[in-house]
Structure 1
């Protein structure tokens, strides 16, 4: 039965597909399966997942931008993976993706614990059929680590209203770009969210939250009373990397595989180091990170070990400023080796990667690794490489170059930004000011 699920012809590589553990998605290096964890696991459990990746796949694991753990290189003969994974007694999601920040419930700075609300929505959504495969609901208590930059069909944000706590509901986009629908108390917010999901289910399996915002709901209903709504607290820029204090006895440290991908052997070594230091819990998190929980000294020592092993331990690492899909040959849709380009950019384009934007390197115009606008995108095509400024991967390029010229062109653009950037100006602002024509001239095209 499991084998028939894995080999069913409906599997494809469209961007809307969701490669769940029981329904893997075909890629260039075999099937990709997502392990949808909902809570902390132990280092020993992650090590066992890595061993399963070696046994059933090609031994490559990923942590996605949303914090999903993924196993690559599965085959139709890898059907036992599902049964083996269940035997590990992991906290696996079943049904709609209702996401909360990685520190939910243990972060003293949260306005409210989002987990009860998220659970109520997840339970209620089990009776709603026909939703888009990648439908996402985010419930954010607004603590130290927030999911503000992740796209969501429906987003609920905790806000303080007088002496009460309410939940602001937004439709589509990020926290900044989503359209405000309402601000409600907890019980009302749950019912309103389930009503919105039911409305989406009637629109078909491709309908998303932005469709409600753009087409379905009365415009007067959306953004109603926006000026009188409680304001969300000023957004903090804290990311998952580095040491975070949770209490006197508990800290967490964010560590990430370069470009979100690591071999099973390297992750097993990291897990063994964590276990030896007395670290008993970890959790995949957004921005391709792993959060390890333990005593301060143990977390700091583990971060030193990880850095020496090639992992990312700081947001200042240039590799944090690059979003790259697996690329060729891992993905059959990709036409360029994205990780090679990204690695060269990280080591040679320091003037460009100042943290003000995410350099997007994609193997095709689907742009899976970074579906949002980027100040600079590098996109593989059938004829070479397209360069896009201030747009998405599928937008019109300001220049098209041969793949062999990619690294030299990136260095040229980095040098241009370094020489043209004004005092106090970011790379993103400089790229925007220079504009497509000036950038094209720098690449030898005009």
Structure 2
């Protein structure tokens, strides 16, 4: 299958996608990985790919630069990873362990993953038990949110932009969610494009939070760090996994990795290793407000996107105050964040700055064009 045919596809373990730097496989999980499992996955990424491991905005793991015909599934099988199959369903990395949860989302998520109908590329569901980890900004075609009195269903977009339905019990919520997925399958349309839906008042949004920091669990604690611009070298990932002790390591929305069931002693070692290895450990780190594609690591990239993003964060951290920046090395706009963003974009005509329909301050546009030269 050619790159042109696969461009809008959603890559997986068994159906990787051809990109500018080789084949890309995306992995999702039903639970956290052991430190040994993540280190083993990092070794496979280095052996079969270019050694880059990415965490996506929805919390999937990606391996890049795979050779055509690479036997990835066979290489991963001995690791015993909790690989998910079927419809991608986002849940909190703290699911089932979070004392702030109103309900454990995992049983509902498992039911949605079993949906058997064919779906358009990139269709995603989300089940939010109402816990502490921020999920409101994660887009989904169908989202379930636990609220007082039951569950709410939102269709398309983020929690802010979804079309919300009335409160119902868990059984009704699952039935309605499956009906929506059946419509998406039958009409070959994304959730945001479905018509004829009633709209109820939206639930109250929770305060926006960073996917980085400490979270209390029913037992022990969790500590979340983020991959800078969603990417890390396999050696750094393996070293971080080794520092996590017996914790489970959960890839998470926001390009994060969450170590759950940490002891206080393990937390200090984990955060110390993450800091030394260049991962993001501070919720105020300006790199969290900048998205960047693989850039020069991809044959399609016309800009060293991640190097430019790192320079912006170091030189002008003030520019990310209340603003999302996006650095894209080609017109495909990989790593595009949800919601409005100011984008530094390279294409066949050169480099330009766009505001997704909003005006871009002249000083910001000038600075971004200068760092791209």
The answer for the alignment partner of 1:417 in structure 2 is: none
Q: Which runs of 5+ in 2 are unaligned?
A: none
Does the alignment pair 1:348 with 2:315?
yes
- Where do residues 108-147 of structure 1 align in structure 2 (5 Å cutoff)? 108-123=99-114, 125-126=115-116, 128-129=117-118, 131-147=119-135
The answer for the alignment partner of 2:285 in structure 1 is: 317
Report the secondary structure of 1:142's partner residue: coil
Does structure 2 retain, via aligned residues, the 8 Å contact 1:31–1:72?
yes
Structure 1 residues 34 and 92: alpha-carbon distance in aligned structure 2, compared to 1, 3 A threshold: same
Where relative contact order (Cα < 8 A, 6+ residues apart) is larger, the structure is 2
Report the secondary structure of 2:235's partner residue: helix
Does structure 2 retain, via aligned residues, the 8 Å contact 1:387–1:397?
no
Match of 1:246 among 191, 204, 217: 217
Does structure 2 retain, via aligned residues, the 8 Å contact 1:363–1:381?
yes
The answer for the alignment partner of 2:182 in structure 1 is: 198
Does the alignment pair 1:96 with 2:87?
yes
Does structure 2 retain, via aligned residues, the 8 Å contact 1:336–1:403?
no
d(CA) in 2 for partners of 1:364 and 1:385?
9
Shift of 1:398: 8.2
The answer for the alignment partner of 1:269 in structure 2 is: 239
Shift of 1:192: 0.9
- Which deviations, in whole Å up to 9, do the C-alpha atoms of 1:349-401 show, x marking residues without a partner? 122122x2221111233323125343422111212211122549xx9998999
The answer for the alignment partner of 2:43 in structure 1 is: 51
Match of 2:333 among 353, 367, 374: 367
Two-structure CA RMSD over aligned residues (Å): 2.5
Structure 1 residues 375 and 264: alpha-carbon distance in aligned structure 2, compared to 1, 3 A threshold: closer
Instruction: After the TM superposition, list the runs of 4 or more consecutive aligned residues in structure 1 that deviate by more than 6 angstroms.
Output: 395-404
Does structure 2 retain, via aligned residues, the 8 Å contact 1:12–1:25?
no
Match of 1:295 among 263, 275, 292: 263
d(CA) in 1 for partners of 2:364 and 2:111?
49
TM-score by length of 1: 0.78
Does structure 2 retain, via aligned residues, the 8 Å contact 1:137–1:153?
yes
TM-score by length of 2: 0.92
d(CA) in 2 for partners of 1:240 and 1:371?
15
d(CA) in 1 for partners of 2:69 and 2:112?
36
Q: Which runs of 5+ in 1 are unaligned?
A: 1-7, 410-446
Match of 1:209 among 170, 191, 194: 191
d(CA) in 2 for partners of 1:58 and 1:251?
34
Does structure 1 retain, via aligned residues, the 8 Å contact 2:2–2:18?
no
Does structure 2 retain, via aligned residues, the 8 Å contact 1:385–1:406?
no
- Where do residues 33-112 of structure 1 align in structure 2 (5 Å cutoff)? 33-78=25-70, 80-112=71-103
d(CA) in 2 for partners of 1:192 and 1:404?
46
Structure 1 residues 280 and 365: alpha-carbon distance in aligned structure 2, compared to 1, 3 A threshold: same
Does structure 1 retain, via aligned residues, the 8 Å contact 2:211–2:226?
no
d(CA) in 1 for partners of 2:372 and 2:346?
16
- Where do residues 327-338 of structure 1 align in structure 2 (5 Å cutoff)? 327-332=295-300, 334-338=301-305
d(CA) in 1 for partners of 2:214 and 2:158?
26
Shift of 1:404: 9.8
Structure 1 residues 195 and 34: alpha-carbon distance in aligned structure 2, compared to 1, 3 A threshold: same
Q: Select the structure of larger CA radius of gyration.
A: 1
Match of 1:307 among 275, 283, 291: 275
The answer for the alignment partner of 1:435 in structure 2 is: none
- Which deviations, in whole Å up to 9, do the C-alpha atoms of 1:129-182 show, x marking residues without a partner? 2x1121111111111013110111111111112xxxx11111111000011133
The answer for the alignment partner of 2:136 in structure 1 is: 148
The answer for the alignment partner of 2:203 in structure 1 is: 232
The answer for the alignment partner of 1:222 in structure 2 is: 198
- Where do residues 13-24 of structure 1 align in structure 2 (5 Å cutoff)? 14=7, 16-24=8-16
Shift of 1:264: 0.9
The count of corresponding residues between Structure 1 and Structure 2 is 372
Structure 1 residues 38 and 331: alpha-carbon distance in aligned structure 2, compared to 1, 3 A threshold: farther
